[in-house]
Chains A and B, each alone.
Chain A
């Protein structure tokens, strides 16, 4: 099987990789680019652990083919923190212990960031619905929801 040469932009860097046409974007990120922050939970779009931003939209990277990334721009969990500082959501998750095993956390952070960028004053219901595609088997969600609400509050106050 001939591999396909894919040129794309990940977290602001130009990246090239060779992909089999059947490989998902998640496989390519992890196995070809070495970005293993995005996790595979279910591999069928149910759990959200592989969430990333694909051309400005929140997607499950297990439901995108690697070859579809040609010429696109992708943001993953690795691009979330600044050079010096963690993203406010990351800091708040640590502060409020909004994670236990941490496997779902990259996906939840990417999804929560996407929400706060379009709505920095979400209701609890809105946060819960938005994160319905991100499963967490440890926390029971309450701390996650609270951390997202608190971050939104901080963002509003500093804006």
Chain B
């Protein structure tokens, strides 16, 4: 395996396009090194992006949104007070990934590119309407986070396409997000189901909503019909119950060692309801 430390993304793209065999990118390495260890998808070329300027930065853009570099760790997100205040749901999703040791290294972009349907930080990014900047030999494009995963362990990124950063839109007043998951333990586990909700209110009525379900399908899925039940509503018990049923109906989980199909369909409804309540309270300013 050849180890590369390019000093720019264009150099990384050039290395990737001219390399023979499997190319992988290294940021936090918390998935890539495990794959190396078990000899699964073992790369011929490993491109470490951490020497590229700006990859460890969280920057407030002129339009009021955030740009989070591809190598920004979970700890950096948690320690960033303003970002955590504006996007608590997104940050709490990332915080659920692994231990303190993992949090020092793991990144949002790595969690996304690993392509797990149970990735804890991905529903929050999608619910936030986040995009990623993708650089290739033909330039940089902005792609919605929800368009990146295509199946378990698979993304739609081609050879020589690299995500450089996550872009969050500007946060307005009366908006709130939340992410909740179910695991049988209290810590250090993979989501059996997960749900992120992002709401924006006008006079306490839901004006826009995005609902994203994790671990109940081959990839993280946007639940548009569930989000639509919430529009124009105050989130009373009746609406929450309709919403909960809709999420259960939309979930298409498999049965595996972490949970049966029936169990996951039921629990996603419960978790989605709680996440919606939490996001609603945050949007009202009640935390």
- B-binding residues in A (CB < 8 A): 4, 21-22, 24, 43-46, 48, 51, 54, 57-60, 62-65, 67-68, 111, 114-115, 129-130, 132-134
Contact = CB atoms under 8 A, between A and B. Distances in A.
- For the complex of A and B, the 7 pairs showing the least CB-CB separation, nearest first, are A133-B99, A57-B104, A21-B3, A132-B187, A60-B101, A133-B101, A63-B33
Given A21-B3, A44-B38, A59-B105, A65 B100 contact: no
B3 A133 contact: no
Contacts, number: 78
Interface in B28-46: 29-30, 33-34, 36-38, 46
Nearest to A56: B104
Contact of B48 (A45, A60, A68, A134): A68
B188 A57 contact: no
Nearest to A135: B188
Where chain A touches its partner, the secondary structure class is mixed
Interface in B160-185: none
A123 B29 CA distance: 31
A133 B102 contact: yes
Given A65-B3, A133-B99, A133-B101, A57 B29 contact: no
Contact of B30 (A45, A114, A132): A45
Size bin of chain B's contact surface:
20 to 34
Contacts of A43: 37
Given A44-B38, A65-B26, A132-B188, A58 B100 contact: yes
Contacts of B1: 21-22
Residue among B3, B33, B102 with most chain A CB within 10 A:
B33
Contacts of B98: 45, 133
A21 B188 contact: no
Contacts of A129: 187
A132 B96 CA distance: 12
Contacts of B138: none
B102 A130 contact: no
B259 to A, nearest CB: 20
A130 B30 contact: no
Interface in B202-219: none
B18 interface: no
Contacts of A59: 101, 104-105
Nearest to B4: A21
B120 to A, nearest CB: 15
A63 B33 CA distance: 6
A48 B101 contact: yes
B33 A62 contact: yes
B90 to A, nearest CB: 20
Contacts of A54: 104
Nearest to A133: B99
A57 B36 contact: no
Contacts of B229: none
A60 B100 CA distance: 9
B100 A111 contact: yes
Residue among B38, B50, B98, B104 with most chain A CB within 10 A:
B104
B101 A58 contact: yes
Contact of A65 (B33, B34, B102): B33
Nearest to B42: A22
B128 to A, nearest CB: 25
Contact of B3 (A4, A64, A114, A130): A4
Contacts of A24: 33, 37
